[in-house]
Amino acid sequence: MMQQVYKTLPDDRPIMSINVIEDPDKCPTGFVVISRTHDQDSDADLWRDGSFFGKKMTRYICLSKTEGISDFIVDSVAVINEKEIPPEGYALITRTADSDQKAWRKRQLCYKLVRREQAASAVTDIIIMGRLKKAPVGFSLAGEINGMTVCFKCGPSVAPVNKPTATQPSQLLYSLSPASTHVPHTQISQPPSVVSVVNKAPINGVTGGDSPHEYEQLMFLQPSRPAPRPPGASHNTYATLAAYS
């Protein structure tokens, strides 16, 4: 359903390449042939000179919006005489893309390529008029080729769709880290130090004060009774032979 809707919408993409072919059934891949006139829906052949040795000679314009030189688009189209030098910056189509034959007689089509980012506008469509000699509304006149009027339509230069690239992380409106909660500060009572306990313990019946020289109080910490003596060396009760020698 959506594909059918897209097909009915106008394709305003810029034209990237223009070719001329002899057989409308041999259009190059990626190109679309203009085989019918816009005003009469008749044959859009631009050669219009009967047959050559029993073979009908035909020329059709075909265009592409995907093939061509990368980053270049068609900026303008013009029709000039066969031996006329094209305007500066314009390219000529001299041979047919399918049969490598001479592309034009008497009059020829040329077009201008510019870089996409430098183009103020771009050619988005080309039509052939069989009877009318002026461009319809929304189109510009390129010129006349063997009684057929060539017109083109311009539109904005649309930038190509870029490949996905690594994007910078967007700035978040919130912090990824959890919000810290304020805990009221409560002073934790520290256990009494050894020095303070010693300082307040009675020493020789006298309770220690708050003297800053607490280390001096440690000098009076002496045991109330003497420590037991360590076991001494035992005396041998036997004699060796060396004692008698």
Residue 96 lies in a domain: yes
Residue 149 lies in a domain: yes
Residue 185 lies in a domain: no
* CATH number of the domain enclosing 60: 2.100.10.50
Distance CA 81, CA 94 (A): 13
Residue 14 lies in a domain: yes
Chain segment 54-95, per-residue pLDDT in tens: 678 899 999 999 999 999 999 999 999 988 999 999 999 999
Residue 19 lies in a domain: yes
Residue 226 lies in a domain: no
Cα separation of the two ends of the chain: 129
Distance CA 187, CA 137 (A): 87
And the tokens for 214? 């607490």
Count up the domains in the chain and report the number: 1
Distance CA 196, CA 224 (A): 21
Residue 189 lies in a domain: no
Residue 78 lies in a domain: yes
Question: Are the C-beta atoms of residues 58 and 20 closer than 8 Å to each other?
Answer: no
Average pLDDT taken over every residue of the chain? 76
Chain segment 153-165, per-residue pLDDT in tens: 998 876 554 545 5
Question: Are the C-beta atoms of residues 109 and 62 closer than 8 Å to each other?
Answer: no
For residue 238, what pLDDT is reported?
Answer: 47
Question: Are the C-beta atoms of residues 157 and 76 closer than 8 Å to each other?
Answer: no
Range of the domain at 123: 2-155
Distance CA 79, CA 70 (A): 25
Let me know how long the chain is: 245
For residue 241, what pLDDT is reported?
Answer: 47
